[in-house]
Structure 1
Amino acid sequence: MTKDTRKAPLTPHNYATPQDSDYQYDEIELRELFDIIWQSKWWIIAITFVFAVGSVIYSLSLPNIYKSEVTLAPTEEASGGGISQMAGQLGGLASLAGVNLGGKSADKTTIALEILESRAFIKSFVEKYDILPELMAVEEWNRRTGIVFNNEAYNPDTNEWVREVEAPKQPEPSSWEYVEVFRDEVLEVSKDDTTGLVTISVNHRSPEIAQQWLEWLVQDINNYMRERDIQEARRSLEYLNKELQQTSLSDMQQVFYQLIEKQTQTIMLANVRPEYIFQTLDPAVVPEQRDRPARALICIIGTLLGGFLSLIAVFILNFFRK
């Protein structure tokens, strides 16, 4: 008899497909990973616990920051209405006379916001209200005692700066230093290009100071733009009156009279409008809740980071052991 050497037909029971091999390989890999994690579970728990405790301590060490906000709308003068719109009708004649009346092309809102964040304006603001200690030396605030100064930086009893800094810095912060702090940590300015509304925010460790500074900022930028336009209008009036006396043409005299009338109206309305550039829609209030830090979020992120790093450390150590 001859031996039957024919191979048995391939069936799902005796044929391993590549997909089955990959599945078995993945199953072995996952089982090995779980074994590594289980064997090192106490290390993972310990490292995660250390990160969790560290994140709690770090979040508690951060001071509370309060934010006061105000919503402003550009006035007719700032958005090109009022006197600016009427003056635009004489813009061509004014250009012939050498006078700049502004008009629709002048975006006073943008100019005012740029001035608000300028170094010269912030420096003048800090000096005017003498708020340098509250800006650079406040350590904490609580509702019972108010603000508490950092004694290692500033002595409130003698009004002396005692902080130790390296050159070129000095014990008393310079305008270069405190202006940067004011821009980065205190003042926030945003403008909605769709509606034109402006939001200005002030951040500080004291909610009362945040609200007070914000009111001063809005008041001062309105006054600054008012005085700026008044001075420009007065210079224009001087020029127009001088040119009026030197011309004998009745048509040119009529143009000068109209231009003088518009500049006079500008000065009059600037003096009677308390909110010259920005009109307050939602005034600043003393915040009752802190804006930051988000301590719960910091703790969650710190704990997750500790767990992730502990897993990475365990896998790396296991790799070197093998």
Structure 2
Amino acid sequence: MIARRRLGSISLDLTELGYGCAAIGGMYRPITRPEADAAVSAAWEVGIRYFDTAPAYGAGFAERLLGDFLRGHSSQDYVLSTKVGKLLRPSLSAPSGVMPFEVEFDYSYDGIMRSYEFSLARLGLAKVHLLFVDDLEPATLGFANYRQHFPKFLDSGMRALEELRSAGDIAAFGLGVSDVGACIDVMHRVKLDCLLLNGRYTLLDRTAGTRVLGMCRRSGTPLIVGSLFNGGILSQDDTETEDTMSYAALARRIASDAGVDIATAAVQFPLRDPLVVSAIFGSTRTQRITAAAAGLADHISESVWGQFTSSAAN
């Protein structure tokens, strides 16, 4: 089974490897229901007990599918996180064969409460353990919209999260973003229970650096890491002249020379820091899910880790 780590002072134990549901929502390629069902089942079979989803993954499809699976298990046997800040509105212009909804950003008190309640309905579950405020960052919203949404979150959205936690509806809440600056903005102003940082503390990209990790250590905020492959850049075989592709090509060469599987190194890297509670891995390929879990036990020497460190973007 996969080892678990405690979420800071929160009474939740997450498996070191989590399963992210963006892929089963069709974010990267079209996916059939049987494929998605097989992927979630494979994650459970290898011992993953932490699942992360969001309303925007497949415009609600990922939440519906995951909920169908988890209803067969006690909520005490797994940890589930979803996200708030994005409401799904009916769309008559949606392509045939996909969920007919479009995203509307709303980080206010009412928006977060509605998002939470709608997620429970789509999941068909009575309990979500963690809520992450989704994509509250300039990179997603644009700077002008970020300046509008950020005060609304501070003024009323935080109150919604605190009320849900106080009522025992959720165990904890945090921020789920890829933007280091957004992490710093929020953490300077509010106390988060945890942080979900995508693609910024990975084998390829260390731009979270000492600032975000240092803030997390000082505030006692545990970290969950997503986008371990930086949007697939690390697993691509072609090389580009851009810095990120150059770093990726070098990392692949280091792994190849050392006889190390690059995907295994990507999964293991963030977990080397005790601040990190879980590394979220998402794939619709059952073989990759099995390999990711098995790779947690593989040994990678400190000298190889040192080479990876010197090659990473900081």
TM-score range, shorter chain: under 0.3
Normalized per residue, the structure richer in helix is 1
TM-score, reference length from structure 2: 0.18
| Higher RCO structure, 1 or 2 (CA under 8 Å, sep 6+) | 1
TM-score, reference length from structure 1: 0.18
Normalized per residue, the structure richer in strand is 2
Structure showing greater radius of gyration is 1
